[in-house]
Amino acid sequence: MANDLEHVSLNLNVRGLHASATVDINERSDELIRQGRTVFKFGLGQSPFPVPPVVVEALRNNAHQKAYLPVKGLAALREAVARFHEKNDEVPADPDNVIIGPGSKELMFLLQNAYYGDLVIPTPCWVSYAPQAQIIGRRVTLIPTHYEGKWRLRPEQIEELCADDPARPRIVVLNYPGNPEGATYSVPTLRKLAEVARRYELIILSDEIYGMLNHRGEHVSIARYYPERTIISSGLSKWCGAGGWRLGTFTFPPALRHLMNAMAVLASETYTSTSAPIQYAAVRAFEGGYTIERYLLHARRILALLGSWCAAKLRETGARVVEPEGAFYLFRISGRWRTGWRRRGLPRRRRFAGGSSTRPGWRFCRGRCSAATMASSRYASPT
Ligand SMILES: Cc1ncc(COP(=O)(O)O)c(C=O)c1O
């Protein structure tokens, strides 16, 4: 009876939702580790690298910053983020069109609240896009991608979707290098995607949180080919190893500034502003320079080596795995892998109880697959 009443009092959009798969698996792994169990953590997309010491130093020097900052973010940080995208992505960026938030995840949630339209997500995809849309009550269209196509969305798939109802307002999420498959887009594909997006006036939410972790350092943003309606999402969590600091950034084109302003209204009524010391420290991170470049160079080299080594090992077990081109993920389709896994004396692939913590495919809106993060072991500092 009590349980029924609890259920009835839940918002309809929230009923039946589970905790975010990545957060959940991380907390359950930590609990088992506290109990003395050995868990190989392949669940949460946590960078294995330390925050660059120059950025830690900047945080130390700003621990005294105690004032609430402007809701859209510290002016110097918005400036640094705009310069960062101009330099690394070769796209024009205006500091007035940058918003800072406590993680890009929160900014995505605010965007979906502010925008009235559908969310289009190629799958497999990061675990939180679709649940966020469900919480807000947005319609989600999932577009399946395939192993044979390296898990990449084909421009014709978007064309097909939009041709049916061309005027429908839509945000298309592109995540590259992607979680959970580590794949990215070639320049010709980005150009073609941009053409289709322009034809149907789509908004692209370009989730480039792993952009700086393209293993070859050759990340290209779709904003270069579709600057007028691309929102670039980034932050400190992945390339700067500072997920727990909670700082994300959205960079808007001038034509979508009204959306950013609406997000700022929502932010002002919810979290007010992002942590002040973290924002001051982030200025140092986004300014970049030699030390940060060196850090990234080593991080990419280690991730590239690990990515191809792990992919090769998994293939030996019969699994189908696309070689990752960026980030720290592997996405495999089951083959004979259970037997191969055991033959090599690896811990049984149980998600817990002294095994390895991977995440099942349905969490990424796909079945018969699972994903693992290569990131949870500790490697030497790449500084
Ligand atoms: C693809 C992708 N986008 C966004 C996020 C959210 O990052 P944050 O909120 O830490 O900026 C993550 C975190 O795992 C991610 O993997």
Confidence bin at 346 (pLDDT 50/70/90): low
Do 214 and 341 fall into the same domain? Answer: no
Question: Where are the alpha helices (H) located in 125-213, listed in sequence order?
Answer: 129-136, 155-164, 187-199
Dist. CA 101 → ligand 1 center (Å): 12
Q: Are 73 and 98 in contact (CB under 8 A)?
A: yes
Do 74 and 138 fall into the same domain? Answer: yes
- Is the CA virtual torsion 208, 218, 314, 346 positive or negative? negative
What is the pLDDT averaged over residues 194-215? 98
Which residues form the domain of 42? 17-50+291-373
Dist. CA 207 → ligand 1 center (Å): 8
Choose between 216 and 1: higher pLDDT. 216
Confidence bin at 378 (pLDDT 50/70/90): very low
pTM of the model: 0.88
Do 254 and 131 fall into the same domain? Answer: yes
Q: In this predicted model, what pLDDT tens digit does every residue of 5-38 receive, in sequence order?
A: 666 788 888 887 877 777 777 788 888 888 888 8
Dist. CA 209 → ligand 1 center (Å): 7
* 42 has a pLDDT exceeding 50: yes
Does any domain span residue 149?
Answer: yes
Q: What is the mean pLDDT of the chain?
A: 88
Do 138 and 71 fall into the same domain? Answer: yes
Domain CATH code at residue 221: 3.40.640.10
235 lines ligand 1 (CB under 6 A): yes
pLDDT confidence of residue 31: 86
248 lines ligand 1 (CB under 6 A): yes
Q: In this predicted model, what pLDDT tens digit does every residue of 273-321 receive, in sequence order?
A: 999 999 999 999 999 999 999 999 999 999 999 999 999 988 888 889 9
pLDDT confidence of residue 59: 98
Q: Which atom of ligand 1 is nearest to the CA of 210?
A: 1
45 lines ligand 1 (CB under 6 A): yes
Domain CATH code at residue 362: 3.90.1150.10
Dist. CA 110 → ligand 1 center (Å): 14
Do 234 and 304 fall into the same domain? Answer: no
Q: Which amino acid is present at 382?
A: P
Dist. CA 71 → ligand 1 center (Å): 21
Pocket test for ligand 1, best of 121, 181, 237 (most atoms within 8 A of CB): 237
Please tell me the residue having the least CA distance from ligand 1 atom 13.
Answer: 45
Dist. CA 90 → ligand 1 center (Å): 23
* 40 has a pLDDT exceeding 80: no
Residue-by-residue DSSP string for 89-138: H-----GGGEEEESSHHHHHHHHHHH--SEEEEEES--TTHHHHHHHHT-
* 263 has a pLDDT exceeding 60: yes
Q: In this predicted model, what pLDDT tens digit does every residue of 90-115 receive, in sequence order?
A: 999 999 999 999 999 999 999 999 99
Whole-number Å distance between alpha carbons of 123 and 28: 26
Number of domains in the chain: 2
177 lines ligand 1 (CB under 6 A): no
Do 139 and 206 fall into the same domain? Answer: yes
Take residue 373 and report the two structure tokens written for it. 């993060």
Least confident of 135-149, 292-306, 332-346: 332-346
Do 273 and 166 fall into the same domain? Answer: yes
Take residue 126 and report the two structure tokens written for it. 């990061």
Do 263 and 333 fall into the same domain? Answer: no
Q: In this predicted model, what pLDDT tens digit does every residue of 265-274 receive, in sequence order?
A: 999 999 999 9
